[in-house]
Copies of this chain bind each other. A is one copy, B any other.
Amino acid sequence: MIDLVQPLLNGERRALARMLTALENERPGYETALAALYPHTGRAWIVGITGAPGTGKSSLVSALAKAYRARGQTVAILAVDPTSPFTGGAILGDRIRMRDLAGDAGVFIRSMATRGSLGGLARATRDAIRVMDAAGFDRVLVETVGAGQSEIDIVRAAYTTIVIEAPGLGDDVQAIKAGILEIADVLAVNKADLSGADNTVRGLRAMLELGHPASRTELLQHHGQLMSVEPSANGHNAPLWMPPIVRTVATNGQGVDELLDAIEQHREHVLSAGLVELERAHIEIEIYERLRETLLLRFLQALPGDTLADMLRRVQAREIDPRGAVSELMGLVGNQAIG
Please give me the residue from chain B that is nearest to A181 by CB atom.
B87
Please give me the residue from chain B that is nearest to A89 by CB atom.
B178
The interface residues of chain B lying within 8 Å CB-to-CB of A87 are: 178-179, 181-182, 207, 210-212
How many angstroms between the C-alpha atoms of A266 and B181 in the bound complex?
Answer: 37
A222 within 8 A of B: yes
Which among B39, B81, B321 is the interface contact of A34 at CB below 8 angstroms?
A: B321
The interface residues of chain B lying within 8 Å CB-to-CB of A149 are: 148-149, 152
Decide yes or no: A222 and B84 within 8 Å by CB, A280-B312, A323-B34, A326-B290 being known contacts: yes
Select the stretch in A102-110, A233-241, A327-335 that faces chain B.
A327-335
A156 within 8 A of B: no
A42 within 8 A of B: yes
How many angstroms between the C-alpha atoms of A89 and B174 in the bound complex?
Answer: 11
B312 and A35 contacting across the interface, CB-CB below 8 Å: no
The interface residues of chain B lying within 8 Å CB-to-CB of A293 are: 292
B276 and A316 contacting across the interface, CB-CB below 8 Å: yes
A245 within 8 A of B: no
Distance in angstroms from A151 CB to nearest chain B CB is 6
A53 and B90 contacting across the interface, CB-CB below 8 Å: no
A147 and B179 contacting across the interface, CB-CB below 8 Å: yes
Most buried by B among A42, A145, A322: A322
How many angstroms between the C-alpha atoms of A173 and B166 in the bound complex?
Answer: 14
Please give me the residue from chain B that is nearest to A179 by CB atom.
B83
The interface residues of chain B lying within 8 Å CB-to-CB of A173 are: 53-54
The interface residues of chain B lying within 8 Å CB-to-CB of A117 are: 222-225
A175 and B53 contacting across the interface, CB-CB below 8 Å: yes
The interface residues of chain B lying within 8 Å CB-to-CB of A28 are: none
A295 within 8 A of B: yes
Of residues 275 through 298 on chain A, the ones whose CB sits less than 8 Å from some CB of chain B are 276, 279-280, 283-284, 286-288, 290-296, 298
The interface residues of chain B lying within 8 Å CB-to-CB of A38 are: 318, 321
23 contacts between A and B (CB under 8 A): A34-B323, A53-B170, A53-B173, A58-B172, A88-B211, A90-B175, A93-B172, A117-B222, A118-B152, A118-B224, A120-B224, A148-B180, A286-B322, A287-B311, A287-B329, A290-B326, A291-B299, A294-B330, A295-B296, A301-B339, A333-B338, A337-B337, A337-B339
Q: Which residues of A contact B (CB under 8 A)?
A: 31, 34-35, 38-39, 41-42, 52-58, 81-84, 86-90, 92-93, 116-120, 145-149, 151-152, 166, 169-176, 178-182, 207, 210-214, 219, 222-225, 227-229, 276, 279-280, 283-284, 286-288, 290-296, 298-302, 308-309, 311-312, 315-316, 318, 321-326, 329-330, 333-334, 337-339
- A88-B210, A287-B325 are known; give 14 further A-B pairs, CB within 8 A: A35-B321, A41-B318, A53-B175, A84-B179, A86-B222, A88-B211, A117-B225, A145-B179, A149-B152, A228-B300, A283-B312, A292-B293, A298-B339, A337-B338
The 6 lowest CB-CB distance pairs between A and B, nearest first, are A54-B170, A117-B224, A83-B179, A149-B149, A38-B321, A295-B295
